[in-house]
Amino acid sequence: MSLKERDKKHLWHPLKQHQLQPESVAIVKAKGCILIDEDGNEYIDAISSWYTSMFGHCNDYIIEKAYQQMQQLDQVMFSDFTHQPAVELSEELIKILPKGQNKIFFNDNGSTAVEAGIKMALQYYFNRDEKRSVFIAFEDGFHGDTFGAMSVSGLSVYNGPFEEFLIDVKRIPTPDGNNHIDILKQLQLFTSTYKIAGFIYEPLIQGAAGMKIHNAEGLNEILKFCKANHILTIADEVMTGFGKTGKHFASDYIDTKPDIICLSKALTAGLIPMAITSCTQNIYEAFLSNEMAKGFFHCHTYSGNPIACATAIAAIELLQSKNIQDNIKVIAKSHKVFSDLIKIHPKVKSTRQIGVIFTLDLNTKMERYGDLRDKLLKFFMDRGVFLRPLGNTIYIQVPYTISKSELQKIYDTIEDVLEIV
Ligand SMILES: *Cc1c(COP(=O)(O)O)cnc(C)c1O
C-alpha cells in the first residue's frame, strides 16, 4: 500500500478538513528546491516549506554542522546547564539583531516564541507591581495557534471556537501611508481607557493575511507612540526574519526598534524546530530580584537544544555569506521584472514585492479555503510547482539557493494558471 493510503489510517493533519480533503502527497526526498513524492514526481518548493528551508532542503553545510554537533552533545537541560552552541548562537544573533536586543530566550516554535513574548510583557508589569493586561494588535495579524498567540491573531478561521477563552486584545488597522493620524487617535483612546501591556505586530508584511505589506513610516509612528506610552513592542519576525525582506530583519527597515523579537521558521534552515524570543536589557532586568517568583518561569523541555543551536549558527553563517546575499538581490531583481510583466494581465488585480517575497492577487473574490484555491493548488502540483495560494492570493517565497531555470518555471506556471481562472 502507498504511503498516501497508509497515512489515512492513523494520521491527523493540520489545517485540513479531512472529510473534504482526505489526500496528502507523500514526500520521500528533498534536495535543494526540489521535493520528490513516492511516485517519483518532482515539485519545486516555491514557498520553502513555509519559509523555513531558505538555504535549500538537505543543505550539505547545514547537515555537516548538525552531524558534527550530534557526535559531541545531543541534548542537555537548559535549566542549570549551558553549552557552546547556545553561547555561540547568542553571540552571533546579537551581532545581527536590530539595535537594543541583548538577551536570547529559547522556545520550540513560532507560537511559543510569541507566547513567551506576551508573557514577558505581562510579567514585566506584574514584577513592577503595575497591572497591565490588554494588548494591541493589527487586524488580520497571525501570530500562531497557542492561546496567547491566538488571542493576538486576527484571522477568525483559526480562532472561532476559542474566542471566549482569549486574552483581551484591541485591534488597529495596518498603516497605509494615509491613515496613521487616525490610528494614533485610536491608540490614544485605547491608552486612556485600558491598561495596555504591549503591542504585537508582524513588521512590514503580514504573512498569513496574504503577504500584505504596510507602510514603514506609519508603523514607525505607531511604535514611537508605544514607546512614549510605555507600551512594550513585540515584533513577530517569525516569518520575516533572516533575509526574506532583503534585509536580515524587517525591523531593519523601521527606525524605532522593538523591545521584544520573536524568531523561528528560517532560524534553523528548516532542519530542526526551534524558536527564540529576544529582548532588551531593560526587559530582562525587570525579572531580576531576590524573589524567585519574579524570574521567568516559562520552559520547554528541549529549550536550547544543542543540535538546533549548531544548525542555527550555520544558517546565520550562510545568511551572511556573499553568495547568499548576492542571490537575494538577484531573486529580488528577477521578481521585479516578472511583476512588471504580469501586473498588466487582466486577471491580475495587483502585485507586491519585498526581497524574495513576491505576491499576486487575482481579480476574483477572496475566499481563503475555497474551490478556487483547490483548483490553483492542483494546477500548480500537476505542473511540478508547489505553491500554496491563500484564497485568491498567490505568493512566492523561494529558497535563496534557487536556480534561474527553477525560478523561471515558477513564473511560467503562474502565467499559465491565469488562463484557467
Ligand atoms: C508561522 C508563524 C507563527 C507561528 O509559528 P509556528 O512555528 O507555526 O507555531 C507566528 N507568527 C508568524 C508571523 C508566523 O508566520
Q: What is the CATH number of the domain that holds 43?
A: 3.90.1150.10
Task: For strands 42-45 and 385-386, give the pairing.
Answer: parallel
Same domain? For 336 and 312 the reply is no
- Grid cell, residue 193, equals 481607557
Same domain? For 308 and 331 the reply is no
Three-class DSSP category at 396 = strand
Q: Is 207 in the pocket of ligand 1 (CB under 6 A)?
A: yes
pLDDT at residue 163, as a whole number: 86
The label of the residue with cell 536570547 reads 104
The label of the residue with cell 531593560 reads 282
pLDDT at residue 369, as a whole number: 65
261 alpha carbon to ligand 1 midpoint, in Å? 13
**To test the ligand 1 pocket, which listed residue (15, 111, 200, 240) has its Cβ within 8 A of the most ligand atoms?**
111
Same domain? For 213 and 229 the reply is yes
pLDDT tens digits, one per residue of 265-314: 999 999 999 999 999 999 999 999 999 999 999 999 999 999 999 999 99
For residues 394 and 24, the answer to whether their CB atoms sit within 8 Å is: no
Q: Note if the pTM is more than 0.95.
A: yes
Q: Is 175 in the pocket of ligand 1 (CB under 6 A)?
A: no
Same domain? For 44 and 182 the reply is no
Region 166-179: mean pLDDT is: 96
Same domain? For 45 and 153 the reply is no
Q: How far apart are CA 36 and CA 271, in angstroms?
A: 17
Same domain? For 48 and 112 the reply is no
Instruction: Give the whole-number percent of the chain exceeding pLDDT 90.
Output: 92
The domain spanning residue 237 has which CATH number?
3.40.640.10
Q: How confident is the model at residue 146 (pLDDT cuts 50, 70, 90)?
A: very high
264 alpha carbon to ligand 1 midpoint, in Å? 7
Q: How far apart are CA 397 and CA 312, in angstroms?
A: 20
pLDDT at residue 364, as a whole number: 85
Q: Is 201 in the pocket of ligand 1 (CB under 6 A)?
A: no
- Grid cell, residue 133, equals 493586561
Give start and end residues of each alpha helix (H) in 345-402.
371-382
Same domain? For 198 and 281 the reply is yes
Domain hosting 54: range is 3-58+322-417
Q: How confident is the model at residue 367 (pLDDT cuts 50, 70, 90)?
A: low
Our count of domains for the chain comes to 2
Ligand 1 atom showing the smallest separation from residue 240 Cα: 13
Same domain? For 190 and 253 the reply is yes
The last residue of one of the domains, among 292, 319, 346, is: 319
167 burial type by CB count under 10 A (0-12 exposed, 13-18 middle, 19+ buried): middle
What letter does residue 281 receive in the DSSP assignment?
Answer: H
Dihedral angle computed from the Cα positions of residues 209, 214, 218 and 221, in that order, rounded to the nearest 10 degrees:
50
Same domain? For 49 and 167 the reply is no
Residue 243 has pLDDT above 80, yes or no: yes
Same domain? For 300 and 215 the reply is yes
The last residue of one of the domains, among 319, 351, 370, is: 319
Same domain? For 91 and 154 the reply is yes
Same domain? For 221 and 140 the reply is yes
In total, the chain counts a number of residues equal to 421
The last residue of one of the domains, among 275, 299, 319, is: 319
